[in-house]
Every structure is written in C-alpha cells, then in structure tokens.
Amino acid sequence: MLDIYTLSMLFSIASFTLATVLTPGPNNLMLLSSGLNFGFRRSLPHMAGIAFGFPFMVICVGLGVGVVFELFPFVYNILKIIGISYLFWMAWQIAINDTSLNQEKYKKSKPFTFAQSVLFQWVNPKAWIMAITSTATFTKGDENTFIQVFIIAFIYMLSGFISTSSWTIGGVFLKKIIKDVKTIKIFNISMAILIVASILPFIFEM
C-alpha cells in the first residue's frame, strides 16, 4: 500500500473521509432519526447498507461511472432530480413519524432495510459529490488507479462504521432523554427540516 500512497497521503484520505462522513447529511440525519425511533439493533441493516453501499458506489464512480456523467451530464441531472424528490418524500415520512413511543405502531413500522440503504446511496446527492470528489482528488491516474480506488473505498468503509454507529447511538441517547410524544414529533419535524436544508445547495446548483 505504501508503494501507492505514502503515510501522509493515507492520513489525508482518512481525514477527508472522516470529515465528509461525520458531517450532517441525509444519511446521518436519517440514522439519528432511526436510532431514536427504532433503536440501535433495528437500525443495524440501515447502518450496514451505508457502510458497505457507499464504498461500492465509490468503486463504481472511480472505475468509470464518473466518465459517463462527463459525457452525458443530463444523466447526472436526472439522478439528482430523482434523489432530491426521494429525499423530500423521506423528510415527510420522518416528519409524520410518531412510532417510538407508540408500541403498536413501533412493532408495525420498519426502518430501512440493507438493500434500501444501499440503493439510497445512488439517489443521495451528497453521496455523489463525495464519491466524485474523493476519486478525482486522491487517484493519480496511473496504472495503479484500480488499487487506489479500492483503498479509498476501504477507508470510506472504516470511516462509515464510525459515522453510522455514532449517529445512530446519538439517536438512541436522545430517546432516553425525550419521553413524551410531543417532543418526539418536534424532533422528527426538526430532522425533516434539516434533511431538506442539507439538499438545498444541490437544488440551487441545478
């Protein structure tokens, strides 16, 4: 690995990945809400879908999907529109969610599955920006590009476990503090507003 990246380069990649995955965005805000509404154990498939799904996306982008967007920008715009529309719908679902203190609704409601979480990465505007930026910045464009992309994806996977666990645990911790339905609803509405706010920059870019 050191033949491809120096220790300082690896540190730079790790710092970049941690900074991008730990900051608020659709994935993290949804995990915070999931931790509060469903608990840590039921949120595990959602967490795993992000931790494995996004690195897979990085590999795909690094090995050629990004070129498709350069040749056909409208494809990226279509995906962005689909992603933003889906995030608005998810924000609405979170805003009206009141399952965490209602045992009957809690048993019937379902958090994200692993597959849903993996697929969500492909319509998440922030995920696209992160994948394109990281592969464009940290690959050298030489014969080792294939290995470089996999190293970046692996570091993202490790960072993803830290990020997904932290945000979900944050939601679980909040549930111990928040004990009434009214406050839960206020929290969920706040999360929905923050999710919408997190995608506004991508809307203004269109």
Residues of the chain with pLDDT under 70: 1-3, 65-70, 76, 98-108, 141-143, 201-206
Q: For residue 2, is it within any domain? A: no
Cβ atoms of 150 and 158 within 8 Å: the answer is no
Q: For residue 16, is it within any domain? A: no
Token code pair at residue 203: 């809307």
Look at the block and give the residue holding tokens 């923050």.
194
Q: For residue 180, is it within any domain? A: yes
Residue 81's pLDDT is what? 79
Cβ atoms of 205 and 104 within 8 Å: the answer is no
Alpha carbon distance, N-terminus to C-terminus of the chain: 39
Report the domain count for the chain: 1
* DSSP 8-state assignment for residue 142: S
User: What percent of the chain is modeled with pLDDT above 70?
Assistant: 84
Cβ atoms of 49 and 118 within 8 Å: the answer is yes
Residue 142's pLDDT is what? 64
Q: For residue 9, is it within any domain? A: no
Residue 206's pLDDT is what? 56
Distance CA 24, CA 29 (A): 6
Residue 126's pLDDT is what? 85
Q: For residue 7, is it within any domain? A: no
What angle, 0 to 180 degrees and rounded to 10, lies between the N-to-C axes of helices 26-60 and 73-95?
Answer: 150
Distance CA 74, CA 95 (A): 31
| Closest by CA position to 100, among listed 40, 38, 44 | 38
Distance CA 134, CA 59 (A): 11
Q: For residue 112, is it within any domain? A: yes
Domain assignment of residue 131, given as a range: 26-204
Q: For residue 185, is it within any domain? A: yes
What tens digit of pLDDT does each residue of 74-109 get? 776 777 777 778 778 878 877 877 655 555 555 557
Whether this model's pTM surpasses 0.95: no
Q: For residue 33, is it within any domain? A: yes
